[in-house]
Chains A and B, each alone.
Chain A
């Protein structure tokens, strides 16, 4: 397991958003996460990336406990994510947004940024070229240098993906990458995610509501319900599990 949660509990007041959740993702795997609204999926992501501390339990990265590590340190250890409700920098261009992903690799010394350095200029040019290549890869080749605020909704989703990819993550967490899209757009985006997974040898954790799409994309699916792991199984098996159908559709929908 590259990244794992061990008995994670998260309480908000008296409500347990997560209740002893354990799961993990193996290198190169696509782990799908599904569950009804309010089942704790995004909370799990926030805890895995250190944005929120768990009430109990541990986060393990390469088997080492990293619980309580500040979020930017977790990011620097190779955990990247996208956000359900997009967190782009609208006042920056597409290229600059992607360049933000390169922050961890750049020399951010105040004093050294004053000194002229050929090496620095070269690395900046290299990063810019890499950022533009990534933009082309996610299908934004014709939007290079445009302000992020001027992009369509579908394009902003792709831009956020490119920015997260530019951190060269070991594990990439995607929080509902197709939220708010129509079926055709969603299918296109998930096809892109699968292409990127193969091309970059990524390890992915994907929250997704569209069950057939997730079955197609994922190697394994974890279903959360009311903050608990309901099922952790192969995609088809998870999707057809009666407990899962019940959680989504109610008891009457389960075939006898």
Chain B
């Protein structure tokens, strides 16, 4: 990308950050946008792990939670400035992710996903039970606002500027990494580990690193959540959240970064936006999104924005199986 195009992109992004809060009618809508943006790094992180490296993490909510608790506790108990706590939540969640992925040395990827489920459950047990640190189910109230060098994010518009920048940076970083040699090595691991090894790829290190990067982003999102809702409770990080995060990545399209952004907006923004006018939607959300996902699997196994590449083999066979079961015509092959 040329320097001129990069500069134009940054300017456009900055203009969007300034203009959007004025264009949106009312605080509530801005809150919906903020919530969606917080989930963008989560969806991208899940996509790095699953879409690019081919592992399935069913525990992203736990890393989200590690980020939220780290950031809240560091600012409240130790008086660490927000930016420092924000960075620390990414690093700690990333390190935890690398540790959790270490069993990939010995087990196949499908068993690794069971380990992530167990990790998510363990995280919930600990945060609910460790009263001294987390106050258990009561949670941590009055988390300080996002603050940067004397400036404080007091309004939803202020928060939007932070969540927008973080989501934008995460998308940009993921795009840079996945379109370079690191991303190619991840895709080699995903498609054929034996071939990847034969071409000199360190498969274990590649997997651990993908997990680290994906969970790092989840941790950053956790910090954003803690300081914008100003409350951290274990309920935000249940297993169902992990499934929703994974669903965002699959719905938007595995191995596409814009797809993850769309996935986060669709899965969080849309139901939140319709919460007041269509309250039934919240009740039926799991069913509606489940049906939507089945539909996507049948007609677009590569996801909504996953047009460039063929669907990953696992999803392709799932799609073929569904079509056979429902006696639908086979899908025309994506190139």
Contact = CB atoms under 8 A, between A and B. Distances in A.
Interface of A: 49-51, 70-72, 75-76, 80-81, 83, 87-92, 96, 99-101, 103-104, 106-110, 113-114, 116, 120, 124, 147, 149-150, 163, 167
B192 A108 contact: no
Interface string B176-204: 11001110110110011011111111110
Contact of B184 (A103, A114, A116): A103
A88 B198 contact: no
Contact of A72 (B192, B203, B333): B203
B103 interface: no
B181 A76 contact: no
B177 A103 contact: no
A113 B202 contact: no
A76 B200 contact: yes
B309 interface: yes
A149 B181 contact: no
B26 interface: no
Interface in B164-183: 173, 176-177, 180-182
A81 B202 CA distance: 16
Contacts of B188: 89, 100, 103
A106 B201 CA distance: 11
B335 interface: yes
B118 to A, nearest CB: 27
A80 B198 contact: yes
15 contacts: A70-B197, A72-B201, A72-B202, A81-B198, A83-B194, A83-B195, A88-B195, A89-B191, A91-B187, A103-B181, A103-B185, A108-B181, A110-B213, A113-B177, A149-B335
Contacts, number: 93
A109 B209 CA distance: 10
B310 interface: yes
A129 to B, nearest CB: 16
Nearest to A163: B199
B195 A51 contact: no
B19 to A, nearest CB: 27
Contacts of A70: 197, 202
B52 to A, nearest CB: 12
Given A87-B195, A89-B195, 19 more contacts: A51-B194, A70-B197, A71-B198, A72-B199, A72-B203, A75-B198, A75-B199, A87-B192, A87-B198, A88-B195, A89-B188, A103-B181, A103-B188, A103-B200, A103-B201, A106-B181, A107-B181, A108-B181, A114-B177
B271 interface: no
B202 to A, nearest CB: 5
A108 B185 contact: yes
B195 A72 contact: no
B258 interface: no
A72 B335 contact: no
Nearest to B180: A113
A100 B312 CA distance: 18
Given A113-B176, A113-B177, A100 B182 contact: no
Nearest to B212: A110
Interface of B: 6, 173, 176-177, 180-182, 184-185, 187-188, 191-192, 194-203, 209, 213, 309-310, 312, 333, 335
Q: Which label, helix, strand, loop or mixed, suits the secondary structure of the A interface?
A: loop
A91 B192 CA distance: 11
Contacts of B203: 72
Contacts of B195: 83, 87-89
A87 B200 contact: no
For the complex of A and B, the 7 pairs showing the least CB-CB separation, nearest first, are A87-B195, A106-B181, A104-B200, A75-B200, A71-B197, A113-B180, A89-B191
Contacts of A116: 6
A150 B310 CA distance: 11
Contacts of B213: 110
B310 A91 contact: yes
Contacts of B310: 90-91, 147, 149
A149 B202 CA distance: 25
Given A89-B187, A89-B188, A103-B188, A113 B201 contact: no
B184 A91 contact: no
A133 to B, nearest CB: 19
A224 B194 CA distance: 25
Nearest to B195: A87
B310 to A, nearest CB: 5
A100 B177 contact: no
A80 B201 CA distance: 12
A108 B199 contact: no
A167 B199 contact: yes
A202 B331 CA distance: 44
A87 B203 CA distance: 16
Contact of B199 (A100, A107, A150): A100
Contacts of A80: 198-199
B173 A114 contact: yes
A107 B191 CA distance: 21
A90 B309 CA distance: 10
B177 A110 contact: yes
